[in-house]
């Protein structure tokens, strides 16, 4: 299959309604998220499309533990032996394979419809073991460096990842980019979700990828600032709290 580069070194892997991302580094391939169940062949096809082989996936970093982000993880790890990473608060969901913490639909009719359609807390998946818990504020020494930013609200153990070499933010489900920047289907805690949206708007980056919707290839932090930005003093406070 042909894979689409978002920016140099980053490829989007469509996993149904959800996205995964493949990053080419000097230390092998890194996969961010693992889509819905049964999508491992899409990932392996994407890797072969790059002229590489699945066993070159060395790292599998999860933005959070929802079924649409960990669904094919067990199958991918079995085939590749990739090392797995996740925030400690979500590890129990991944390692049990469900049930999942409930969410409240995002404000508005669309949120209610999509949340019921796409999120089933009682779903059961094949469990996946997590090798390394992520620490908020750390920079993972993978593919040139990923800053780990804790962005709770949609999901307590959610992280966004800022890839340093080409300043691309992986925003997870803090927001979607389906018809412009917008809310995820639901929140465990709406207030915290709003704080996380502002927190990302206070960072500087060029490109952005989302769990759901189209990536942005340039000036992405301007789009975030226009949608979620706050006064400079407040931005400063959010930065200090990061
Ligand atoms: Zn999610
Ligand atoms: Zn999602």
Instruction: Encode pLDDT of 132-174 as tens digits.
Output: 999 999 999 999 999 999 999 999 999 999 999 999 999 999 9
Distance 150 CA to ligand 1 centre (A): 14
Question: Looking at residue 3, what is its pLDDT?
Answer: 77
Distance 27 CA to ligand 1 centre (A): 28
- Rounded to whole angstroms, the Cα distance separating 227 from 221 reads 10
Question: Looking at residue 227, what is its pLDDT?
Answer: 97
> Which of 77-86 are b and which e, b meaning 16 or more Cβ less than 10 Å from the residue's Cβ?
beebebbbbb
What are the start-end ranges of the H helices in 98-213? 109-118, 190-201
Distance 181 CA to ligand 2 centre (A): 14
3-state secondary structure of 82: coil
Tokens 């997870």 map to which residue?
A: 172
Q: Name the pTM for this structure.
A: 0.94
Distance 149 CA to ligand 2 centre (A): 17
**pLDDT tens string for the chain (242 positions)?**
667 799 999 999 999 899 999 999 999 999 999 999 999 999 999 999 999 999 999 999 999 999 999 999 999 999 999 999 999 999 999 999 999 999 999 999 989 999 999 999 999 999 999 999 999 999 999 999 999 999 999 999 999 999 999 999 999 999 999 999 999 999 999 999 999 999 999 999 999 999 999 999 999 999 999 999 965 555 566 666 66
Query: Smallest Cα–Cα separation from 43: which of 60, 65, 67?
Result: 60
Question: Looking at residue 4, what is its pLDDT?
Answer: 79
Question: Looking at residue 223, what is its pLDDT?
Answer: 97
Question: Looking at residue 240, what is its pLDDT?
Answer: 67
Question: Taking the CA of residue 32 as centre, how many other CA atoms within 13 Å lie in the half-sphere pointing to its CB?
Answer: 32
Taking CA atoms, 176 is separated from 35, 70, 84, 97, in Å, by 15, 18, 24, 24
The enclosing H or E element of 59 equals strand 57-61
Distance 216 CA to ligand 1 centre (A): 19
Query: Cα dihedral sign for 64, 31, 210, 208?
Result: positive
Q: Determine if residue 198 is left, alpha or beta; phi over 0 gives left, psi from -120 to 50 gives alpha, anything else beta.
A: alpha
């Amino acid at each position: 299959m042909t894979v689409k580069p978002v920016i140099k070194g980053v490829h989007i892997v469509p996993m149904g309604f959800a996205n995964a991302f493949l990053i080419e580094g000097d230390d092998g391939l890194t996969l961010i998220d693992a889509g819905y169940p049964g999508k491992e062949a899409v990932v392996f096809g994407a890797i072969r499309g790059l002229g590489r082989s699945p066993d070159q996936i060395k790292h599998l970093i999860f933005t959070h533990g929802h079924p649409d982000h960990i669904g094919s993880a067990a199958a991918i790890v079995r085939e590749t032996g990739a090392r797995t990473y996740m925030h400690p608060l979500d590890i129990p969901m991944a390692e049990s394979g469900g049930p999942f913490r409930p969410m409240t639909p995002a404000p508005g009719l669309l949120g209610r419809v999509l949340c019921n359609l796409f999120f089933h807390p009682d779903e059961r998946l094949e469990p996946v073991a997590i090798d390394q818990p992520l620490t908020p504020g750390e920079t993972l020494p993978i593919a040139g460096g990923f800053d780990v930013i804790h962005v709770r609200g949609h999901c307590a153990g959610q992280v966004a990842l800022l890839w340093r070499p080409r300043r691309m933010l992986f925003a997870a489900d803090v927001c979607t980019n389906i018809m412009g920047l917008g809310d995820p289907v639901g929140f465990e805690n709406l207030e915290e979700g709003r704080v996380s949206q502002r927190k990302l708007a206070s960072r500087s980056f060029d490109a952005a990828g989302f769990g759901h919707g189209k990536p942005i290839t340039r000036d992405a932090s301007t789009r975030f600032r226009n949608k979620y930005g706050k006064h400079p003093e407040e931005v400063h406070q959010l930065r200090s709290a990061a």
